[in-house]
Structure 1
Amino acid sequence: MSGKAVAQGQEGLPRGGHRHHRGSPRADEGSTAYDDILVAAAYEFSHKGFDRATMRGIATRAGCDPKLLHYYFGGKDDLFTKAVGRIVEGSRLLDTLLGGGQEAGRGSGPVTGVDFLKALLRFVETTPEGAVYLGLVRNAGGDPHVRDLMLGFIKGELDGEQLKRLGIDHLRERLMFAASQVLGLLIVRYVFKVEPLASMPADGVAMVVGPVVDRYLRADLSFDRLVA
């Protein structure tokens, strides 16, 4: 994600930046246009919703010609998916899950559910990208099209090669159960803001919910019987 945009915070995502002349855009000019567009798109989608966010408005926030959006991303759906992917990539939560994040402290091997949730909640509560991600989750609950786009992104991640490094059986089923737990936590704590969960210390929440995530990922859940 663009360092310039991150440094300015959630409310200060770029409205200017690198402006481009009309004509045939080039991807090899060394500019940050691509990243600036993704940052601006994530902000616009999370704050305005998918329908009210426009390609022209995103271009204005990114400080570029609207033609660049179509050149790099084609359409609005692809731009949304790429923006979500950039946030997830920047969070490094997948690295944490696979044992390479700071929470692991062991250099290799999968982390515990507690480790992962500590990293996730820290990302959501302390970074501009985390706040934007919550906005996207919030919008997904009320917009069927956004929900379908998010679901498509999640399915794509589940089919990726990296997650196979977890070395667990029934990978897709286990990850879906774990995701339901994590997504439910995010919605109840940050979207609905249900007390006392909303005000509990993040590390304490991770200590309580983390073992449930571990169970979904590694316990004997008789999946052969469930998915037969």
Structure 2
Amino acid sequence: MTPVSRTADTTDPAPELHRRWAATVAEARGSRKPAAPGGAPAPDPAPYADNLLSRWSEPHRRYHTVDHLAAVLDRIDELADHADDLAVVQLAAWFHDAVYRPDRSENEERSAALAERALPELGIGAARTAEVARLVRLTVTHDPAPDDPDGEVLCDADLAVLAGSPDQYAAYAAAVRTEYAFVPDPAFTTGRSAVLRQLLALPRLFRTPMGYDLWEHTARRNLTTELDLLGGA
């Protein structure tokens, strides 16, 4: 992963996200002496945040944006007590849509591969790097195993948008449609309806106890309403 160059006159558009990224990287490094492959000192994590935020700010994005990243990180904070390795879950959030093209099907795989390249450069160990990549790949299905608390936290945080107020959910659905503006209406309706049915068929949308209590009922109501509006109920 090539860091974006930082210059003295660059205005940081997201200082809080930069702060959170630096804290997460430091926690993920743990007691390991920060070192990149070959024994060189690990690089400053800040340019990596620039690179990731640049990806999350690509002009074709309407829902999978920096705002979505920040929201997922906030929901992870709410669910933090359920996680086994909070820093790993937070890193997975940063990478889970880092590569995103709505006309491609391999976004999660490419995002996981990006993490597998970047995290060792940052001095993060092999086990944690592998776990971050596994969690990113898990967002393909949002169906973590019952013995996977970190997967449950990430997936719940990513799906929490489904439990917004009617206006918030409508804005989310509209943003998704805009990202797929290149898809004709009939094809979009068919594909979106299939996604909604897949989600509604899950025994539980939210696997953490807190996520279930906070978001399950509202999310199912929103999904059902959207499916009805699409004529796919």
**Band the TM-score falls in, shorter-chain normalisation:** 0.3 to 0.5
TM-score, length basis structure 2: 0.35
TM-score, with normalisation over the residues of structure 1? 0.36
Determine which structure has the larger helix proportion and give its number.
Answer: 1
